[in-house]
Amino acid sequence: MISRVGIDRNWLLAVLDNALDEVYFVDCTTGRFCYANQTALDNLQYGLPELEGMTPLDLAPELGGQTWDGFMHALDRDHQAVLHYEARQHRRDGTVYPLALRLFRCPAAELPVYIAIGNDQSAARATASALQQSESRYQAIVSNIPGLVFQCHRQANGEITFPYLSERSSDLLGVEPQVLQASPALFFDLVMADDLQGLLRAMEISARTASTLNWQGKIWIANWQDVKWISIRATPHCLPGDETRWDGVITNITQTKHEEMEIKRSHAQMAELSAHIQSLKEQERAQIAREIHDDLGGNLTAIKMALALVKRRCGADAASLEKVGYAEHLVDRTIESIHRIAGDLRPSVLDFGLVAAIEWQAREFERLTGMVCHVSSEQEDVGLGSEASTALFRIFQEALTNIGKHAQATQVDVELHLDETWVWLEIVDNGRGMQQSDRLKPDSFGLRGMMERVDSLHGLFDIESSPGIGTHLSIRVPVEPQIFRNDDKTGQDQGIYR
């Protein structure tokens, strides 16, 4: 049959049989197949002898007789014409696959034929379907992300474009995606002036170090007359030519920021209240100590003087002298207790300065526990006010109490020094150290009390401790304690943050 078509070159047959496209020859007279290449035979699952008894309508009945006849008439009228159509080819096993065909007429002298070259569209359609499904899934995910999904491209000359912006652009920024893509500078116009340099600096660092862009700041939306807090988180991709592309999300964190600021204000108020309570407690302690010392001490002194008079009048009455002596002993013990209680309420040694008070407390600690407690200070006094000195002294007392109860130490080293900004109190013991869990115990009121006192002074409190090595407490308080204040314009707490 091939010889009848006029193809007599073996190399042409080899080319046709090894072509990836399906190739068919159809007899112009009978309308039956007279040749099909190996690709077509493999795909159809037919042999060439079987196919030679069939017509194109046997493989693609959906074409219908009129459609196929119309193709033939058109090619017979115009031998230069090339027709394109798509058919649903039926294999021997009954399965169907899409085939895109180009059809033209070859007017051979011996036997003119119609030549059809087809390309199986199954893989292309599967790919298109998978791509469509992937795009649908992507759009579904993007539409449900509580933020603006974006792609930002920075060219070598610094020019910024947004190749992609999700529909959330109008909800978050008040600007339609198309408008922002046409004028990318509008985004940077939204960023408030005091935050813009931070954003540009963060983008530069992210591009230079290939690190995640993570920035938070404020934008002003004029159409809504509203300030919003936004968070930008994006992954950089370094491109040729010193260009960078970021893929990321912009989210609205206004509510979160307001809550954070409210928490900060609440913490500041709690710190102020705690400091006020501590101040009142110290004032009450000082007042009680004075009353005990002045009133009870004066009364006991008067009693002791009266007992001395009674003792002289007792003469040689041994029984009376013994009772008077016992009463004098009770008075002396009571006076000692008054001094001790008054000292616990407010050590009078604080009147001589914080350094002297800490040295006195260290000696008392040595006397009571037997531990060596060494104090060093280059200053005779650190110049803190009365309330700050009392608070720092109470912190020191609590630290020594904790060491005495838990540390199992033999030595404590204390250093008190001053620089231009801070008063430093360093307390180091050689005890068993602390576990992390020890600091998180719900009943660890000693540590919490120290931290609250440091907070009330707007200072810094650090603990370094390891099991078996010991514990190092570092307390810093400002020479002139700062007061938290609230800026009405930004709502941010100012002062010293930890």
Domain 2-125 is classified in which CATH homologous superfamily? PAS domain (3.30.450.20)
Residue 486: phi, psi to the nearest 5?
Answer: -115, 125
Q: What pLDDT does residue 494 have?
A: 31
Question: Can 2-125 and 145-252 be said to share one CATH topology?
Answer: yes
Find tokens 């042999």 and name the residue.
47
Among positive and negative, which fits the CA dihedral 336, 338, 343, 344? positive
User: Is the backbone of residue 487 left (phi > 0), alpha (psi -120 to 50) or beta?
Assistant: beta
Q: 203: closest CA among 222, 221, 184?
A: 184
Q: What is the 3-class SS of the chain, one letter each residue?
A: CHHHHCCCCHHHHHHHHCCCCEEEEEECCCCCEEEECHHHHHHHCCCHHHHCCCCHHHHCHHHHHHHHHHHHHHHHHCCCCCEEEEEEEECCCCCEEEEEEEEEEECCCCCCEEEEEEEECHHHHHHHHHHHHHHHHHHHHHHHCCCEEEEEEECCCCCEEEEEECCHHHHHHCCCHHHHHHCCHHHHHHECHHHHHHHHHHHHHHHHHCCCEEEEEEEEECCCCEEEEEEEEEEEEEECCCEEEEEEEEEECHHHHHHHHHHHHHHHHHHHHHHHHHHHHHHHHHHHHHHHHHHHHHHHHHHHHHHHHHHHHHCCCHHHHHHHHHHHHHHHHHHHHHHHHHHHHCCHHHHHCHHHHHHHHHHHHHHHHCCEEEEEECCCCCCCCHHHHHHHHHHHHHHHHHHHHHHCCCEEEEEEEECCCEEEEEEEECCCCCCHHHHCCCCCHHHHHHHHHHHHCCCEEEEEEECCCEEEEEEEEECCCCCCEECCCCCCEECCCC
Instruction: Provide the β-strand partners of residue 33.
Output: 26
Tally of CB atoms within 10 A around 377: 19
pLDDT digits (tens, 9 = 90+) for 405-459: 888 899 999 999 888 888 999 999 998 887 766 655 655 667 878 888 888 788 8
Question: Tokens for 421?
Answer: 């900004």
**Neighbouring residues of 238: CB distance < 8 A, sequence distance ≥ 6:** 207, 210, 244
Nearest Cα neighbor of 396 from 369, 434, 357 is: 357
Closest CA relative to residue 244, chosen from 216, 202, 215: 202
What letter represents residue 383's amino acid?
G
Rounded average pLDDT per 10-residue block, the chain, 498 residues:
50 77 90 90 91 90 83 85 90 92 81 89 85 76 78 92 89 90 93 93 93 94 89 93 92 89 82 73 72 74 81 78 83 79 72 86 90 88 80 88 88 89 91 71 69 84 84 88 40 32
Specify the pLDDT at position 5: 47
CA nearest neighbour of 170 among 124, 223, 227: 223
Q: What is the pLDDT of residue 490?
A: 37
Alpha-carbon gap, residue 8 to 108, rounded angstroms: 13
* Dihedral sign computed on CA atoms, order 276, 279, 285, 289: negative
* Tokens read off for 474: 């570092």
What does the block give as tokens for 405?
């109860």
| b/e sequence 273-302, b meaning 16+ C-beta within 10 Å | eebeebeeebeeebeebeebbeebbeebee
Between the alpha carbon of residue 111 and those of residues 2, 11, 53, 128, 342, the distances in Å are 10, 20, 17, 40, 129
Taking the CA of residue 207 as centre, how many other CA atoms within 13 Å lie in the half-sphere pointing to its CB? 21
pLDDT at res. 482: 46
Q: What's domain 145-252's architecture?
A: 2-Layer Sandwich (3.30)
Tokens of 403: 């060491």
Q: What b/e readout covers 164-191, taking b as 16+ CB neighbours within 10 angstroms?
A: ebbebbbebbbbebeebbeeeeebeebb
In this structure, whether the domain defined by 349-498 belongs to CATH 3.30.565.10 is answered with: yes
Q: What's the rounded Cα separation, in Å, for the pair 303 and 300?
A: 5
Rounded Cα distance, 415 and 392, in Å: 13
Residue extents of the structural domains in the chain:
2-125, 145-252, 256-346, 349-498
Which pLDDT does position 495 carry in this prediction? 31
- pLDDT at residue 439 in the model: 58
